[in-house]
Chain A
Amino acid sequence: MDEKLDIHTAIKDTLPTVFGYIGIGIAFGIVGKAAGFNPLIVLLMSILIYAGSAQFITVSMLASHSPILSIVFSTFLVNSRMLLMSMTLAPYFKKESLSKNILIGTLLTDESFALGMNKLNYSGNKLSFRWFNTANGISYLTWIISSLGGALLGNFITNPEKLGLDFALVAMFIGLLYLQMISDNATSTLLQIIVIAFTLILIYVGLIFIPGNLLILLVTLLGCGFGVVIKHAFF
């Protein structure tokens, strides 16, 4: 990554994250097809809901005939961590028009958020609409095409995991986490490691009694609070 914020650089910066969307998108398409939904429905889900884990939940709850309100509410809860990410990101686009802000928010993902946070460390703490919108757009298109591809391929592939593609997303989070740690000079490395270790404990303990998708939100809320407290107490 470098300090440039043009479209060409955005494409270059976003490329590594594309594998994550392809892996999970294809998996989603296959799962959706296997649950009995036709490729059009799968496609509409990816276009309109556009949320990895939440879409898996929508599919399984639809297939098990859950009431509509509980499906919508579950989707909201699973995805509500986006509130935190949007809140963190929004100040960087304060000078842009409202419609540009809405567009950035509409296509924001875990990955484009993480990518943007990383970029800040190289760009002198600035983001541009063009850069972010390009990153978002590539992600959105890749997600739509891969999930449709998965739904169409669904008849032929029964075991998408064999290729190791499902690890692309995890590998990406590992990479982005490490790159964030080494490039963020505002927070000391020791504090970062303490917060990450605390996050591991929270995840482990939380998994015992809190459903995984809700857990990410709760852990994020608690982990950030822990970070602030430790920072003010010891750093």
Chain B
Amino acid sequence: MPSFNFTLLTILGCGMATWVSRVFPFILLKKFDLPKPVIDYLSFVPIVIMSALWFSSLFNQHLGSLPQVNYENLLASVPTVIGAIIFKNLLVIVIIGIVSLGVIRLIGIA
């Protein structure tokens, strides 16, 4: 186990690293405007990031070989997507997701 001081210093360094990536664009864009092509490019960020985060949870990674399907998450995604289409309400969607995975684990399918 690393010493308390080393751990603290690392945490401070990591804190600076995450802070810079969050704040730097805000400071920069206060002074400058983004060119139109960049705005066009960034308009895809929300759907790409959200689907990337979702899809990456559907696989288990084994570097060097094909990803394995995470059947638990894949199965739980089905009622969650259907729930999203029917209810269009984030809270309901999240609860359906949690319950779905809970049930899948309880009855031990997947």
Residues on B with C-beta less than 8 A from A196 are: 47-48, 51
* A145 proximal to B (CB < 8 A): no
Interface size class of B (residues with CB under 8 A): 35 or more
Which of B6, B54, B57, B98 touches A165 (beta carbons < 8 Å)?
A: B98
Residues on B with C-beta less than 8 A from A167 are: 73, 76, 97-98, 100-101
- A108 and B77 CA atoms in complex are apart in Å by 26
Question: Which DSSP category, helix, strand, loop or mixed, fits chain B's interface?
Answer: helix
Which of A49, A170, A211, A220 touches B49 (beta carbons < 8 Å)?
A: A220
Contact B27 A101 (CB under 8 A): yes
Contact A76 B6 (CB under 8 A): no
Query: Interface size of A by Cβ–Cβ distance < 8 Å?
Result: 100
- A117 and B49 CA atoms in complex are apart in Å by 12
Contact A199 B98 (CB under 8 A): no
Given A117-B46, A192-B47: A219 touches B52 (CB 8 Å cut-off): yes
* A137 proximal to B (CB < 8 A): no
* A186 proximal to B (CB < 8 A): yes
Given A105-B25, A220-B45: A200 touches B98 (CB 8 Å cut-off): no
Q: Which 4 A-B pairs have the closest CB atoms?
A: A171-B97, A164-B102, A175-B93, A48-B15
